[in-house]
Amino acid sequence: MRRLNRKKTLNLMKELDAFPKVPDSYVETSASGGTVSLIAFTTIAFLTIMEFMVYRDTWMKYEYEVDKDFTSKLRINIDITVAMRCQYVGADVLDLAETMVASADGLIYEPVVFELTPQQKELQRMLQLIQSRLQEEHSLQDVIFKSAFKSASTALPPREDNSLQSPDACRIHGHLYVNKVAGNFHITVGKAIPHPRGHAHLAALVSHESYNFSHRIDHLSFGELIPGIINPLDGTEKIASDHNQMFQYFITVVPTKLHTYKISAETHQFSVTERERVINHAAGSHGVSGIFMKYDISSLMVTVTEEHMPFWQFLVRLCGIIGGIFSTTGILHGVGRFVAEIIFCRFRLGSYRSTSVPLPDGHSSNHLPLITENSTH
């Protein structure tokens, strides 16, 4: 009884088999078939490896929405070196919303030597090279986002030489918080003194001959400080050609939420336009000598998310590659074999030359003579 049940089950499974079967007489091995099979398997292996590399890779997805957060504070991270002594310069932020000077207590004034060491110059050249490449290849920004917290630090390394040269510059670094409205961060001669109608700088005690606003921006960013992120002004160096010179940077800040597989942070991207000119009141060029960074906050917020190909999509694409290559190579092999048979058959037919057979009535026949038993003797 058990054997009968097993036979019935096997017969039922055979009846349910919906795949077509090829007769054994149709299955023939040939050199051309083996060559096509080898090419097919090699192509499948190559495309499978390439598809796996695509599956491992990730890409950045950008989404845009209106920024509805107007109450939080904006953090500004600053590291700027000016070629003047610290007692001669002052830095502050003018908030255009409340027309007041924001507190700059978070900034540190450090006397330093403006000339860089060879190691520091090498880092600065590297940053400038990266900046030039970022302006040409915008897709490199995605690589920087994905490698955040894993890249080498972009901060300027400390000086290693024990130079006895007296400090001739002032490094202004630190961070401060301002309202999320347009503002003006500037470094000019004299310390800032706030008053009800704005603010002023004590510049009367500093001679014009000592003005030198040659500067180097080692770091300038907005929002949360993320190591490994290179900002547009990092590594910038400007040398003043005149004592009374104004450097202006017009900055547009875009709030950005960054979500990758390594980090999740709220930062800000920005674009910048530079301008510099010499202050000459006699020639009609008015203004104040110094470094002015006028920033504006964009009303749009960008959400940058790192995405990965789903595993099911990888399997579907892999099955499509295998099935497509087998089908395509089979069709090509069949067509090529058919064309080859036609060509070779024509050559074979052309190899037989027709012969003339005389007839009794004096005519001749071009048909091939029949082979009979008498003709064989």
Stretches in the chain below the pLDDT threshold 50: 353-354, 367-377
Element (H, E) at 48: helix 31-56
Identify the pLDDT of residue 376: 44
Burial class from Cβ neighbours inside 10 Å (0-12, 13-18, 19+) for residue 86 reads middle
Task: Give the residue among 269, 266, 188 at the shortest CA–CA distance from 233.
Answer: 269
Identify the pLDDT of residue 372: 47
Count of beta carbons in the 10 Å neighbourhood of residue 108: 12
How far apart CA 118 and CA 101 sit, in angstroms, is 38
Beta partners for 201?
192
Instruction: Report in angstroms the alpha-carbon separations of 204 from 111, 130, 191, 194, 333.
Output: 22, 41, 11, 16, 91
How far apart CA 35 and CA 335 sit, in angstroms, is 15
Enter the pTM of the model: 0.67
Contacts of 120 (CB under 8 A, 6+ apart): 156, 157, 159
Element (H, E) at 344: helix 311-351
Residue 170 structure tokens: 């002032």
How far apart CA 232 and CA 140 sit, in angstroms, is 13
Identify the pLDDT of residue 368: 47
Identify the pLDDT of residue 138: 65
How far apart CA 291 and CA 277 sit, in angstroms, is 11
Query: pLDDT tens, 280-301?
Result: 877 777 878 889 999 998 888 9
CB 185 within 8 A of CB 263: no
How far apart CA 185 and CA 250 sit, in angstroms, is 11
Identify the pLDDT of residue 123: 82
